[in-house]
Structure 1
């Protein structure tokens, strides 16, 4: 059983597709009639379940939270089924999108006897923090951002909550995390933990009851050695987030996958973060990006599967389909001679999955009858790579399509990149193309926009008769500019010609868009007018700015924007704050008498006269 939580960060006013889906294997599909859905203790103001619409699927059931339920859909939930007389549970977490306190991860899994640190992040004053465990106050926890539990035992498994004192139920001022504990020490299983676990690859965990490897999303097999891709999940990889047929589609981005307790929850292969939207950094791959690549000198691998890219091979002392098996394969001949790298050695040979790997297409021309049998080269080809560079909204991105062919590289005109909108096919302009003995690499460019994402692009390889011989799809995402949920602009000082303001730093945990933020811009305009003036041409690196050159006794609207790197990286204006500059007034009231004075004898400027009347009026 796998739970899929769409939008693990709750935004009750802007999200209408918040749901938890239960996926069951084909052999267990009938168990959907016995599914029980409930909340784990009181994790919101309500002790019961939030209202939802339930729909029955072939694979299981979907619980769709109603938007009107607001923050009651926040918290920790558990799905249970009865199977062979035993209850089996899978748990998931839904957090608030703008919370001021956030966990490092939604669930944490540890083995019996290990030391565990539970950490929550916050910008608030830590002396206001308090902790609870399964609803009970943890004494001595006040003011702490983390708890360290040594030699952990089974009674410490459960729900940990960190919250701001006197704001226990405020949705945006609390964070929760589930701690799962495996009943055996690491690498052991059995009734008395007497058995040795197999080596589970790619983030798999050994089940303490059966000794089998439980595989994270994107992997399958008895030791989780079969690589599937970011769009596949389930113990046998039988489910996908979309119907594109592309195992590397990014459709699982933003979803949380929870396997039967005590495995816990992870993002899809290739993603990380509590909202599962951040892609793995270079050198990392897999669910939650916890796995390390072991590829050649550049250590570049696919972010979902860990397979080497750009023609690189496994680093020294690593082998396997994605270089996660230690040591080079060898065969002992029995006479001190070792034959290395034998492809037929079943112990090390990777398991082939013809539904996942690119399949070379082979055609054989008819050979005229001849008395002399001649061996002809067998043409073959494949799209070995199709990638893009992620850019800011409204900017051009570059696509790279690599096609391998034998016995010679494909012709330039046989490769194209396209996309379709409302049935209209668009061909992307080609920037450049290069070829070597067997490979042609082509570059294309297209402008991508946030309101059109994800947009599926396709690299096509056509034969001489224009028949499509191979294609590969690619879902494209753009960086969303960083926008404030609330900038909290405050006026620190105001004079007749200047205003000094301070604002909250953009925070990815409760503000919108993508970071990292490299700085800010400050804008102002006279109240009631529409023309905005940028206060500084340079990027402001801190959260305080002194606006100068203003006019006295005038009301100004002031806004702030956050910026990420690159063209188009500036977010929307924050909500404005309105402030009036002070008046110009002399230290003592002037004594003016204009009677009897000729025009030529009046030496006061109109500004001084204006200030006199303003001073007298005040």
Structure 2
């Protein structure tokens, strides 16, 4: 290695060592005790003693596999640089602090001096952001993006219960199939609709059943007969739409209220009492007849009885 000394005009006690043969792009080193044992490459160069020029890192691909909220996904962070990034040079960070697991790292053949790191995240949620970072010999760079998610579907038009389809212990609900042209939101494909009901005395809704979307294709409305209801009871009802995937359950649609009819007697009534009383006026006499009976509804609690009163006025004209 051939080196020579050059004195500084400003600082006479400092000397600069120029290593002409050691580095293709040498740096000027200074110190009180003379030159260092070996030359180092200046910024923007690497691989001493040849000192090749680096190519700053560039993120050529950064995205995640689109999934439903709450599902797991993978992120692809591909970076091109010279020298080619090493596996540990590329990392993934989350603004929510979620852990990213490196599942695969490979140098690409189609893109020279490029490496793709594939990261796995167990669960992603709406509003989260993720950052692909590069910190290596070629330099530093980063890119932050929001997680790409499907929007879960929702029926925005109210369902209806036709009055003629209301019974004492069941009712039929109808709704138009999910369609963005009708103002419904979310992403297809749609799998099914689930129907949820509760009374005013109940705290939680109960799922009464579901209807596959394929059964509604080509129809103006979907329908479902809600069973096992109580007579003369008002119910609150809504429909949930589900798309493909484990996390595809959408938010509840508009709520409606519908009341079941009074039930018909299951057994003949039991007469409790018959009373009569006469009434007279100037035109013609009247007789008031009061009949009292009760019956037990078999679909209700064994201690529930209904008592009815009926008053009849029998008139006999006076000639």
TM-score, normalization by structure 1: 0.33
Q: Which residue of 2 aligns with 1:576?
A: 255
Q: Deviations over 1:470-500 (max 9, x none)?
A: 3334343322222233223233512222111
Q: Which residue of 1 aligns with 2:106?
A: 435
What is the rounded CA distance, in whole Å, between the counterparts of 1:456 and 1:593 in structure 2?
74
What is the rounded CA distance, in whole Å, between the counterparts of 1:574 and 1:581 in structure 2?
21
Q: Which residue of 1 aligns with 2:90?
A: 415
- C-alpha contact (below 8 Å) 2:173/2:224 kept by paired residues: yes
What is the rounded CA distance, in whole Å, between the counterparts of 2:264 and 2:139 in structure 1?
80
Q: Which residue of 2 aligns with 1:274?
A: none
Q: Which residue of 2 aligns with 1:403?
A: 79
Q: Select the residue among 136, 150, 169 that pairs with 1:479.
A: 150
Residue 533 (1) aligns with residue 206 (2): yes
Q: Which residue of 1 aligns with 2:307?
A: 613
Q: Which residue of 1 aligns with 2:178?
A: 506
Q: Which residue of 1 aligns with 2:10?
A: none
**Secondary structure of the equivalent of 2:72?**
strand
Higher strand share: 2
Residue 549 (1) aligns with residue 228 (2): yes
Q: Deviations over 1:31-54 (max 9, x none)?
A: xxxxxxxxxxxxxxxxxxxxxxxx
Q: Select the residue among 558, 561, 564 that pairs with 2:237.
A: 558
- C-alpha contact (below 8 Å) 1:590/1:612 kept by paired residues: no
What is the rounded CA distance, in whole Å, between the counterparts of 1:524 and 1:570 in structure 2?
17
- C-alpha contact (below 8 Å) 1:487/1:574 kept by paired residues: yes
Q: Select the residue among 363, 366, 374 that pairs with 2:45.
A: 363
TM-score, normalization by structure 2: 0.59
* Structure of higher RCO (CA pairs closer than 8 Å, 6+ residues apart): 2
Q: Are residues 513 and 537 of structure 1, via their aligned partners in 2, closer, same or farther at CA, if it must alter by over 3 Å? A: closer
Q: Are residues 550 and 566 of structure 1, via their aligned partners in 2, closer, same or farther at CA, if it must alter by over 3 Å? A: same
Instruction: Provide structure 1 residue ranges, at least 5 long, that are not aligned to the other structure.
Output: 1-360, 369-375, 595-603
Q: Which residue of 2 aligns with 1:585?
A: 264
Q: Which residue of 2 aligns with 1:385?
A: 61
What is the rounded CA distance, in whole Å, between the counterparts of 1:614 and 1:396 in structure 2?
62
Shift of 1:414: 1.3
Q: Which residue of 2 aligns with 1:523?
A: 196
Q: Select the residue among 141, 154, 165 that pairs with 1:470.
A: 141
Q: CA RMSD, aligned part only?
A: 3.8
**Secondary structure of the equivalent of 2:307?**
helix
Q: Are residues 428 and 586 of structure 1, via their aligned partners in 2, closer, same or farther at CA, if it must alter by over 3 Å? A: closer
Residue 444 (1) aligns with residue 115 (2): no
What is the rounded CA distance, in whole Å, between the counterparts of 1:564 and 1:615 in structure 2?
54
**Secondary structure of the equivalent of 1:413?**
helix
Shift of 1:532: 0.6
Q: How many residues align?
A: 232
Shift of 1:568: 2.5
What is the rounded CA distance, in whole Å, between the counterparts of 2:261 and 2:146 in structure 1?
55
What is the rounded CA distance, in whole Å, between the counterparts of 1:427 and 1:593 in structure 2?
72
